[in-house]
């Protein structure tokens, strides 16, 4: 990845963790297995059963959606009056950008995974195992929140009529989970429309075979097919060291899989992937393993063997390959209504180790989080790592005596990420930036100069705005809107650019699905009142899909 040769940005859907590769168990069987009882045999059993009043089958599980909606503390789309005209105008501009991105996708690429705006065509790629419509699923909740009603109905109709889960191909467990499962779950919670819930549950079951490993740590790639000899097979990425699993992949399942269990009444998802339901027998599996394994300096390396449960190499990053593992620890605690104390402790301990070993200050006074390679620091930050300002600010609200220090750290990291934008000719940030002699917060390698519509910087602006209300975060966000309009908007959509330091940038011809799911949603929320998708009711998965905080037991 760090070769000095120039590299164009990926002409495909880009994984959240920026890996180098683009990368059935029927519900009836699962439910019957969970509720089956041994049938009586022999005369004694028949006599015993005759003496016992016959019991019908257990009542089917039903999630009480209306009660869930009543448990929310704020209207989903907000309701506070009195916003200032400038913020409203800027929010409406972001809404127009979303409509423009969606309309062009619908016209030229509906059903494909992404729009290629320069050639007015669709792109499918090989990351989603034959699944289609990644942009539809990623855009659903954003369209709904922005009150783009007609466009939302178009997207919903595609899901009802054309979203086919009977596919056979190699899929990234991580990407399918955060984009498809996350998008379907969020849209169900926002609307109550059953089609989104049923599709999420059906797709979730197709992911379960990835957990069939000696440790229960899932592998990164799964075949989604129902038929043939490869059904349910999973394996590790070819580029991953020694067949290892990736921290940011197996550590970024908790939020979605817990909700799959919540909605289905089937604990298998939580048992496989999470540890918030402490009453479940296997629920601590991933965390129990991570708690037991020795951590160098308290840090979590990025590669773990799903066979032995041991680290494969000591590369630590808060950016690509590691990022969302940390994010899901603090958000798991918040989503549990602050009951998942194990997640909170793991987050606190991890952040303490990060502060001690990875947080550095440049000669020019910029705070950044370095990467760690077997004890040697690599003084760079990826764009992906810029989410950490928002994460640390979110966690700081519950950090006790450390609150002030953590808020300062969050603000400093977010300011550094802003500098990576401000120091470029386009006012958009590069894929990675370094802190070396004579150069700070700038990409020093040609292969790191591209921008693919990534959301992490505006994500942190949104959190810092909501938690401090300092006007600079809205100002910085508006700078991004203007830069996107000037350099990334083309005649038929939005495109990434190959060099943020060129005043006449070359476009990569890809409108990433996460641009609609994340970048535009976070910008819209930045210019909205705080009760729109209130942080008191919702946590955002790592694709910006809102999932509700569990305020109450919602079994009907």
> Is 334 within a domain?
yes
| pLDDT of residue 28 exceeding 60 | no
CA quadruple 176, 181, 184, 189: dihedral, nearest 10: -150
Mean per-residue pLDDT, 344-371: 97
210-222 per-residue burial string, b: 16 or more CB within 10 A, e: under 16:
bbebebbbbbbbb
**Calculated CA dihedral for residues 74, 75, 81, 86, nearest 10 degrees:** 100
pLDDT score at 34 = 35
CATH number at residue 426: 1.50.10.10
- What is d(CA 465, CA 474) in angstroms, rounded to the nearest whole number? 7
Q: Which two tokens stand for residue 529?
A: 């009142």
Of the candidates 175, 169, 328, 188, the residue with the CA atom closest to the CA atom of residue 260: 188
Q: What pLDDT is stored for residue 310 in this prediction? A: 94
**Number of domains the chain is built from:** 1
| Class of residue 147 by CB neighbours under 10 A (exposed 0-12, middle 13-18, buried 19+) | exposed
> At residue 98, does pLDDT exceed 80?
yes
Task: Using pLDDT thresholds of 50, 70 and 90, give the confidence band for residue 5.
Answer: very low
Mean residue pLDDT of the chain comes to: 87
- pLDDT, residue 15, reads 61
For 490, phi then psi, to 5°, come to: -120, -175
Would 31 be classed as within a structural domain?
A: no
pLDDT band of 284, cuts 50, 70, 90: low
From 114, 431, 508, 537, active-site residue: 431
Q: Assess if residue 10 is contained within a domain.
A: no
State what percent of residues in the chain have pLDDT above 70: 85
Q: Which of 262, 323, 342, 499 is an active site residue?
A: 323
On whether residue 58 sits in a domain, the answer given is no
Q: Active-site residue 456, yes or no? A: yes
> DSSP code of 550?
-
Name 382's bridge partners: 432
> Which spans in 72-111 are helix H?
85-109
Chain position carrying tokens 């809205």: 474
The pLDDT, as a whole number, for residue 12 is 53
Q: Where are the alpha helices (DSSP H) in 313-444?
A: 323-335, 341-357, 388-396, 403-422
- Is residue 35 included in any domain, yes or no? no
Residues 6+ apart with CB under 8 A from 471: none
Q: Which of 74-88, 267-281, 389-403 has the lowest mean pLDDT?
A: 267-281
Q: Which pLDDT belongs to residue 118?
A: 98
Residue 374 lies in a domain: yes
- The per-residue pLDDT for 266 is 81
Above 80 in pLDDT, residue 25?
no
- Predicted pLDDT of residue 56: 57
Mean pLDDT of 100-111: 98
Cα 463 to the center of its chain, rounded Å: 16
Pairwise pLDDT comparison (228 vs 530), residue with the higher score: 530
Q: How far apart are CA 545 and CA 335, in angstroms?
A: 13
Give me the half-sphere count of Cα atoms (radius 13 Å) on the Cβ side of residue 373: 4
Active-site residue identified among 114, 138, 170, 175: 175
C-alpha span between 290 and 275 (Å, rounded):
12
> What would the two tokens of residue 263 be?
């909605």
pLDDT, mean of residues 45-73: 69
φ, ψ (nearest 5 deg) of residue 278:
-70, -15
Say whether 378 is catalytic.
no
Q: How far apart are CA 529 and CA 532, in angstroms?
A: 6
Task: Tell me the residue range of the domain where 243 lies.
Answer: 67-545
Helix axes 388-396, 323-335, angle to 10 degrees: 30
Neighbours of 361 (CB within 10 A): 12
152 Cβ contact list (under 8 Å, min separation 6): 140, 143, 144
* Residue 542 in marked binding region: yes
Q: What is the largest distance, in Å, between two alpha-carbon atoms of the chain?
A: 88
Residue 147 or 168, more confident: 147
Q: Which of 114, 151, 448, 456 is catalytic?
A: 456
Q: What's residue 33's pLDDT?
A: 33
Q: Which residue has the higher pLDDT, 520 or 18?
A: 520
The reply to whether 175 belongs to the active site is: yes
Residue 30 has pLDDT above 70, yes or no: no
Tokens matching residue 52 = 């016992």
- Tokens (6 digits) for 287: 């965390």
Query: 3 in a domain, yes or no?
Result: no
> What pLDDT sits at residue 2?
39
Evaluate whether residue 317 is within a structural domain.
yes
Residue-wise pLDDT for 185-217, tens only, equals: 999 999 999 999 999 999 998 988 888 889 889
pLDDT at 451 over 80: yes
138 is catalytic: no
């Amino acid at each position: 990845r760090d070769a000095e040769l120039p590299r164009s940005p990926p002409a495909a859907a880009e994984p959240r963790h920026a890996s180098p590769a683009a990368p059935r168990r029927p519900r009836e069987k699962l439910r019957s297995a969970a509720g089956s009882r041994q049938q009586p045999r022999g005369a004694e059993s028949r006599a015993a059963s005759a003496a016992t009043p016959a019991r019908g089958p257990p009542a089917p599980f039903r999630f009480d959606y209306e009660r869930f909606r009543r448990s929310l503390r704020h209207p989903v789309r907000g309701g506070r009056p009195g916003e200032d005209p400038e913020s409203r105008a800027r929010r409406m501009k972001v809404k127009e950008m979303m409509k423009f991105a969606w309309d062009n996708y619908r016209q030229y690429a509906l059903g494909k995974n992404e729009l290629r705006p320069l050639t007015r065509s669709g792109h499918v790629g090989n990351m989603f195992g034959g699944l289609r419509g990644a942009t539809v699923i990623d855009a659903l909740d954003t369209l709904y929140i922005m009150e783009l009603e007609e466009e939302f109905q178009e997207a919903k109709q595609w899901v009802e009529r054309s979203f086919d889960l009977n596919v056979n191909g190699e899929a990234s467990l991580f990407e399918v989970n955060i984009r498809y499962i996350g998008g379907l779950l969020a849209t169900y919670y926002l609307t109550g429309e059953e089609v989104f819930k049923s599709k999420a549950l059906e797709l979730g079951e197709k992911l379960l075979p990835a957990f069939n490993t000696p440790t229960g740590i899932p592998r990164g790639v799964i075949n989604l097919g129902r038929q043939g000899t490869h059904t349910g097979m999973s394996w590790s990425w070819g580029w991953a060291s020694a067949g290892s699993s990736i921290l940011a992949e197996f550590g970024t399942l908790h939020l979605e899989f817990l909700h799959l269990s919540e909605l289905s009444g089937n604990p298998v998802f939580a048992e496989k992937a999470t540890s918030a339901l402490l009453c479940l027998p296997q629920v601590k599996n991933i965390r129990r393993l991570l708690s037991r394994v020795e951590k160098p300096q308290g840090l979590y390396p990025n590669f773990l063997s799903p066979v032995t449960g041991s680290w494969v190499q000591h590369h630590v990053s808060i950016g690509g390959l590691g990022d969302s593992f940390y994010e899901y620890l603090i958000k798991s605690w918040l989503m549990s209504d602050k009951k998942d104390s194990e997640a909170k402790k793991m987050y606190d301990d991890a952040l303490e180790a990060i502060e001690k070993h990875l947080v550095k200050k440049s000669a020019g006074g910029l705070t950044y989080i370095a990467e760690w390679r077997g004890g040697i620091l690599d003084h760079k930050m990826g764009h992906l790592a810029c989410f950490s300002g928002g994460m640390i600010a979110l966690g700081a609200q519950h950090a006790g005596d450390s609150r002030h220090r953590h808020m300062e750290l969050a603000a400093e990291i977010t300011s550094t990420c802003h500098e990576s934008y401000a120091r470029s000719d386009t006012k958009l940030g590069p894929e990675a930036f370094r802190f070396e002699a004579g150069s700070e917060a700038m990409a020093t390698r040609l292969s790191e100069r591209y921008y693919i519509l990534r959301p992490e910087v505006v994500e942190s602006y949104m959190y810092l705005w909501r938690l401090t209300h300092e006007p600079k975060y809205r100002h910085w966000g508006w700078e991004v809107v203007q830069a996107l309009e000037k350099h990334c908007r083309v005649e038929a959509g939005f495109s990434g650019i190959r060099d943020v330091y060129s005043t006449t940038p070359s476009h990569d011809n890809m409108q990433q699905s996460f641009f609609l799911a994340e970048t535009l949603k976070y910008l819209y929320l930045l210019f909205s009142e705080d009760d729109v998708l209130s942080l008191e009711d919702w946590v955002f998965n790592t694709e910006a899909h809102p999932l509700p905080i569990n305020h109450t037991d919602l079994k009907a």
